[in-house]
Homo-oligomer: A and B are copies of this chain.
Amino acid sequence: MGKLMRRLSTQEPNFKQDFADLLAFETVSDPELLKTVDQIIADVRHHGDAHVLKLTQQFDRHPAHQFSDLELSQVQLKAAFEGLSTEVREALEMAADRIRSFHEAQKQDGWTYIDALGNTLGQKVTPLDRVGIYVPGGLASYPSSVLMNAVPAHVAGVKEIIMVVPAPNGELNPLVLAAAHLAGVHRVFTIGGAQAVAALAYGTETIPQVDKITGPGNRFVAAAKRAVFGQVGIDMIAGPSEILVYAEGENNAKWLAMDLLSQAEHDTVAQAVFITPDEQLLNDVAQAIEEHLEALPKAEIARTSIANRGALILVKDRAEGEALINQVAPEHLMLCLDEAEQMSEQIRHAGAIFMGRYTPEAIGDYCAGPNHVLPTSGTARFSSPLGVYDFQKRSSLIMCSEQGVKSLAKTADILAQQENLDAHARSARYRYK
């Protein structure tokens, strides 16, 4: 028992290389895929609704006869919501309420100030007009993803939220529609893939052009989002899910093992990493993982993920653990020790930090409040969870007085001359001479 998962120790001579190998994961950009995606985008731009309908019939085997069959009505969304059991409806409502409360705290306001010269400077904050949220279909069609994308957009003040969700064979998870109702999504189209991204980015006869596209998807969706970036905003290019659990002291190995498996069950390339200075706990977690796998419905996926990308890492002390965590910049980080808050202060890079023994990552996926769309593959080094700030943007404000502009205009004049930008210099000069 306990042999399934790779074990590393910082004391081994090859640790540095082994650890680098563990983290190495690069989505190979497949030139054929990029070509296909570029062609789909070009065709959707050219042929609009007709091409989106055709591809949806072809790829999703959707029984739609005309484009209007691909739009769901608000009545359908409401009916799905009302069809939920009380237990599920209340759970969804609690999740939406908590997500809304947390994201309200993220909302940014503009500001202005008057400088010593009497000029007004500031920053105006405005919501995006219209956004598209991509919700994966089929197996990975999650109502929680609808809430996590739509609620922050709502809180930001976005006036129109367009959701796309593929419906393979015309089938949809009613909970996804219920969540769309609860989150106040304005329009829903049952389309997906690169064609849905293209339709949102450029608009068709029926689908309005949006300003930003958020939400995860398969590699066609990821490639399409990259291709339309600039035409519209995008949130991020999502990679496989990851969890890193650091534990010390009193801990229940079964709990920690299940926390690790909750990411491993997502995807065969998901990554679950356990770090501890406690060798006994490491052995116990290794064994508990294999015991849990015996009884887990998604054991096959989880086993592959654990075997190929998982690791149990023994460190000398907490400081070594902190250094490894900052190197990984994990999507989800659990700190299971008494001094979790203190340790979190040493963490520079992580999507979300779950502290203490009573904070399983799974509650963050649904109802803790913070967003579950998080930076993966080490991108927490430079990016943030999806948030209200993704649906707001800023404009600088500058208003000079007739007196206040004089010294600024003189400085601009001098520097513009140095840059050989004569019209700049003259335009400034008019205001002080």
Contacts and interface: CB of A to CB of B under 8 A. Distances in A.
A64 interface: no
A101 B365 CA distance: 39
Given A230-B379, A265-B423, A423-B258, A398 B92 contact: no
A359 B211 CA distance: 30
Given A92-B415, A401-B358, A411-B367, A351 B232 contact: no
A370 B353 contact: no
Given A398-B353, A400-B363, A368 B121 contact: yes
Contact of A411 (B106, B232, B361, B366): B366
A425 B124 contact: no
A414 B265 contact: no
Interface residues of A, number: 124
Interface in A387-433: 387, 389, 393-402, 404-405, 407-412, 414-416, 418-428, 430-431
A427 to B, nearest CB: 4
Contacts of A296: 422-423
B255 A427 contact: yes
Contacts of A397: 344, 352-353, 355, 370
Given A95-B411, A298-B423, 18 more contacts: A105-B111, A121-B368, A124-B347, A128-B382, A143-B419, A226-B229, A232-B382, A233-B383, A255-B430, A296-B423, A349-B395, A353-B398, A354-B399, A359-B405, A360-B431, A370-B397, A370-B398, A385-B395
